[in-house]
Chain A
Amino acid sequence: MTHEYVVETDALTKRYGRKLALDHLDLRIPRGRIHAIVGANGAGKSTLFRILLGFLPPTAGSARILGRDSQRLTPEDRGRIGFVNEEHTLPGWMRVNAVADMHRRQYPRWNEDAFRDVLGHYHVLPEQKIGQLSRGERAGFNLALALAQGPELLVLDEPTLGLDVVAKRAFLESLMYSNATDDCTVIYCSHQMEEIERVADNLVILERGRLMHMSAPDEFCARVTHWVADIPFKGPDPRSVPGLLQLQRLDGLHHYLVLDQDEDFAEFLRASGARSVQSMPVSLDRAVNGFLAKNHASPDAQRAHA
């Protein structure tokens, strides 16, 4: 019954017209802990979630969630998966207590303590209509519902987008310290590195529908270094720079953000005419941004390819 991976995809592909949203994606997310998925807009995160939850069929390949084919989920399977989307879509005309009652009836493993525990962070009254709640209150209510359901897997699609600092903190605290999440695997997608640094055990980087990297966040961070070289005149041809993610020329100095380079990179720079070379580690935010920026669409790049 217990599978080693909560998510397993094999050559998962989704095509929208001329565009590949998922491109033969092979992804295995182990059970337990908090996994953050990052990627530029259009990297395929939301498409992946929709397929995993059975809302959308793949064009090719397969996806399994909690060991089940995502296209053949039973209501019982769905009860084991909690989902919170960025819009926190709940019926606006219903009252809070009516929605909670519906969920209580729906899920046999309903955990009332967890529900109250999470909702206690927000000023949500039972008689309020969902439509009258603020975005943060809706997010909190949504998370409370998802956690109270006692899921084995919790999928969160940019859950803290647009929340104020207090609501965001309450949300993260519920996620990390609520007893309800003790036996729960969390898959979480976000653009906010500050949050990922605090929250994630595992970092998954998607780009153009493919898996680019998966490890603990600090291991990814250690792959990226920032070098500054004083190279008179023109530096080396960017295409010849090993592992280049980003190149900037600032005040006459060449700044290189590179991937997987060791001390040999200093030699490369010296051989390219550098008079002085310095290197430093970078923050997670810088590492991920540099990594994603490399292949990010830009008008210049498109013109070059045209």
Chain B
Amino acid sequence: MARTQALMLQIATGDSRPISKQIVDAVRMKIATAELSPGDQLPSVRGLAQQLTVNPNTVAKAYAELTAEGWLESRQGLGLYVATPRQRLSDAERSRRLDEAIARFLHDVIALDFPPDEVQARLHREFLALAPRKSA
């Protein structure tokens, strides 16, 4: 049986994101960067709650959201596992979220006054840095 994968994550109180959202974001990022792979088992609700000193219901809420979005799957009586990737959102929704993220990004960087070419080149390099780990 697969052993529980350690979940190396930090949460911060006093953040504008609620703790459950911070957990969701961190787990998604770890799956996207292949730090967590399909089939890895996640810590139990109680285990992660104790690791982070937060209310178990907060972890349960984060896990439920990740499961509903298809990042995690539960195996009856065994726990939660990283799901095999599949397209989790409709094309329209993906496109909408991408537009939103781009708008946020633009708001942040526009004031920094870099030439668009340089911003694009740097973004491209960041993507390349992610890619090899993902295909590994």
Contact = CB atoms under 8 A, between A and B. Distances in A.
A197 interface: yes
A46 to B, nearest CB: 24
B50 A198 contact: no
B41 interface: no
A169 B16 contact: no
Given A176-B49, A177-B46, A177-B49, A199 B16 contact: no
Contacts of B57: 33, 201
Contacts of B90: none
A243 interface: no
Interface string B45-76: 01001100111111000000000000000000
Interface string A265-281: 00000000000000011
Contacts of A221: 16, 18
B118 interface: no
Interface string B14-45: 11111111000000000000000000000000
A246 interface: no
Given A198-B19, A199-B55, A218-B20, A177 B50 contact: yes
B16 A172 contact: no
B46 A197 contact: no
B13 A194 contact: yes
A282 B16 contact: yes
27 contacts: A34-B55, A176-B53, A177-B46, A177-B50, A193-B13, A193-B14, A194-B13, A194-B14, A197-B14, A198-B54, A199-B55, A200-B55, A201-B55, A201-B57, A217-B18, A218-B18, A218-B20, A218-B21, A221-B16, A221-B18, A280-B16, A281-B16, A283-B14, A283-B15, A283-B16, A284-B14, A284-B18
A173 interface: yes
Which of B16, B17, B50, B57 gathers the greatest number of chain A CB atoms within 10 Å? B16
Contacts, number: 54
Given A33-B57, A177-B46, A177-B49, 18 more contacts: A169-B53, A176-B49, A176-B50, A176-B53, A176-B54, A176-B55, A194-B14, A198-B53, A199-B55, A200-B55, A201-B57, A218-B18, A280-B16, A281-B17, A283-B14, A284-B13, A285-B13, A285-B14
Contacts of B56: 176-177
Interface string A31-74: 00110000000000000000000000000000000000000000
Interface in A239-285: 280-285
A173 B13 contact: no
A285 B19 CA distance: 13
Contacts of B17: 281
A173 B56 CA distance: 11
Interface in A192-237: 193-194, 197-201, 217-218, 221
B53 to A, nearest CB: 6
Nearest to B15: A283
Nearest to B57: A201
A198 B46 CA distance: 14
Contacts of A172: 53
A169 B54 CA distance: 10
Among B49, B50, B53, residue most surrounded by chain A Cβ atoms (within 10 Å): B53
Nearest to B16: A281
A173 B51 CA distance: 10
Contacts of A198: 13, 19, 53-55, 58
Residue from B17, B18, B49, B50 whose CB has the most chain A CB atoms within 10 Å? B18
Contacts of A176: 49-50, 53-56
A197 B50 contact: no
Nearest to B18: A218
Interface in A160-191: 169, 172-173, 176-177
